[in-house]
Amino acid sequence: MTSILSINATDGPARLGLIATPHCEIETPVFMPVGTLGSVKGVPQHILEELSVQILLGNTYHLYLRPGHEAIREMGGLHRFMAWERSILTDSGGFQVFSLNELRKVSERGVEFRSHVDGSTHFFTPERSMEIQIALGADIIMAFDECTEHPVSRERARESMEMTSRWARRSKEYFEAHKHEVPWSSAVNHSTSIATGHPPPSVGCEEPRAPSKTRHDASLQSHFFGMQSLFGIVQGGMYPDLRRESADRLLELDFPGYAIGGLSVGEPRELTREIIESTLPLLPKDKPRYVMGVGYPEEIVEYAAMGVDMMDCVLPTRAARHGLLFTTEGRMNIKNARFARDQQPPDPQCGCMVCSRYTRAYLRHLFVSGEALAAVLNTIHNLAHYLDTMRSVRHAIKTGELRAKRSEAAQVSEQSS
């Protein structure tokens, strides 16, 4: 099987690559903004395009509850539903259900949980997660996993990891039997595409496009090349030997990409780094490696330098809604009174649409006045910062300057205002 990842340059363990997905080719290392319910909170899709977002993450658990995967399937899949032509990855629902704490019951068969929306009872199994993720139709989907809390005993971590391995097999089996049910599958056909004269997916997705016509032009579906890719997730808590065993079991199933899950669950940052560092060498070099749920700007630089290709995190978007901006000079709490008459841009080194137009004083005013525009502009800036950070990491890999980039990011992390 040919890998969906092609590597174009390396700098130490770091890799500059392209991941082929049905909707576009993604330049890696890549940061994926989180669009939980089919929307990056407060930001219209054309602005995400202008920010050069290549791939969004959607949350299976949330989309299953609202508007429901069958509704999305009927409407042509998540891309079409949310009018987003670039790539999407959906998580398995495992982590979200894990976060419900008191509302869930785990067994070998799957997880029973109660909806945070209306308290209704639901049951996720590996098969159900696949069914939902196929209906949503993301480019990359994730095997159903259990994510353990931290700290956790070795015994509990082992049992959970072993069950996650069995769930990975069940996920893979269901996916292989049903992958043709993806809402856009009928159009996945090279000859059709060529016949209709549509261009192949854009490389890198970097060009801002004309306003999407997805909804109005059904033939656009014939853009798609290839099928969904199902990734496996390495678990094993904070135990390197369990991580190794998890990786070994997953590799037997030959996934097109592998994620490291079960991190960012409250463990110290140094431990996160150690687990990533010890797990990465266990994963095939020629396939995408995805660390789920990380991190701060300096962390995503560090992990990319260690050889991670994909990362996602709610941090830039959630922090924005709480008035925390990430800048080239460190973190900035925009509600701070000392910004009340500060006429500088949020980040004088940033060229985003927020920093090239608005002042710190204006953003502070919006935030302290409870104006909706505060979250919108803060989110746009934070995403620009994260995406610029990854763009400069990719540039540094190409030019062999990643070591310098990494120490610069680490220095910035110690500043805040």
- Which residues would be at the binding site for a second copy (CB under 8 A)? 37-46, 66-67, 71, 74-75, 81-83, 211-215, 340-341, 343, 345, 353, 356-359, 361-362, 365-366, 368-369, 371-373, 375-377, 380
Minimal distance, residue 2 CB to a second copy, in Å? 34
Closer to a second copy by Cβ: residue 233 or 377: 377
Please provide the DSSP assignment of 100-157 as one string.
TGGGEEE-SS-EEEE-TTT--EEEE-HHHHHHHHHHHT-SEEE-------SS--HHHH
Choose between 51 and 242: whose C-beta lies nearer to a second copy: 51
Instruction: Return the structure tokens found at 154.
Output: 């070795």
Please, which residue, 108 or 216, has the CB nearer to a second copy?
216
Work out whether strand 258-260 and strand 229-234 pair parallel, antiparallel, or are unpaired. parallel
Provide, rounded to whole angstroms, the least separation between the CB of residue 63 and a second copy. 9
The answer to whether 324 and 332 have CB atoms below 8 angstroms apart is yes
Q: Which is nearer to a second copy, 17 or 38 (CB)?
A: 38
Could you give the CA distance from residue 272 to residue 50 in angstroms, rounded to a whole number?
Answer: 32
70 vs 286, beta carbon nearer a second copy? 70
SS3 category, 209 = coil
Catalytic one of 11, 309, 312, 388: 312
CA 170/CA 124 separation, integer angstroms: 13
CB 210, min distance to a second copy, A:
10
Query: How many Cβ atoms sit within 10 Å of the Cβ of residue 162?
Result: 16
Catalytic annotation, pick one of 11, 91, 309, 388:
91
DSSP state of 9: E
Residue 293 CB, shortest distance to a second copy, in Å, is 21
- Total count of residues recorded for the chain: 417
Q: How far is the CB of 356 from a second copy (least distance, A)?
A: 5
Per DSSP, 199 falls in state P
Q: Residue 206: which H helix or E strand, with range?
A: none
Residue 11: partners with Cβ closer than 8 Å, 6 or more residues away: 305, 396, 397, 400, 401, 402, 403
Q: Give min distance, CB of 104 to a second copy, in A.
A: 21
Question: Which residues share a beta bridge with 9?
Answer: 16
Q: How many CA atoms lie within 13 A of 316 on its CB side?
A: 32
Closest CB to a second copy among residues 141, 354: 354
Q: For a second copy, which is the closer residue by CB, 86 or 249?
A: 86
Residue with tokens 């004309």: 210
Q: In the bound complex, what is the minimum distance in angstroms from residue 340's beta carbon to a second copy?
A: 7
Instruction: Centre a 10 Å sphere on the Cβ of residue 238 and count the other Cβ atoms it contains.
Output: 21
Q: In whole angstroms, what separates CA 245 from the centre of its chain?
A: 25
Which residue in 84, 32, 38 sits closest to 65, CA to CA?
A: 38
Q: To 5 degrees, how large is the angle CA 150–CA 152–CA 153?
A: 165
Residue placing its CB nearer to a second copy in the complex, 322 or 403: 322
Asked if 57 and 38 count as a contact pair (C-beta separation under 8 A), the reply is no
The least CB distance from residue 341 to a second copy, in Å, is 6
Bridge-based pairing of strands 121-124 and 111-114 is: antiparallel
**Is 118 a catalytic site residue?**
no
Tell me whether residue 347 is one of the annotated catalytic residues: no
CA dist 225 and 117 (Å) reads: 36
Catalytic site positions = 91, 312
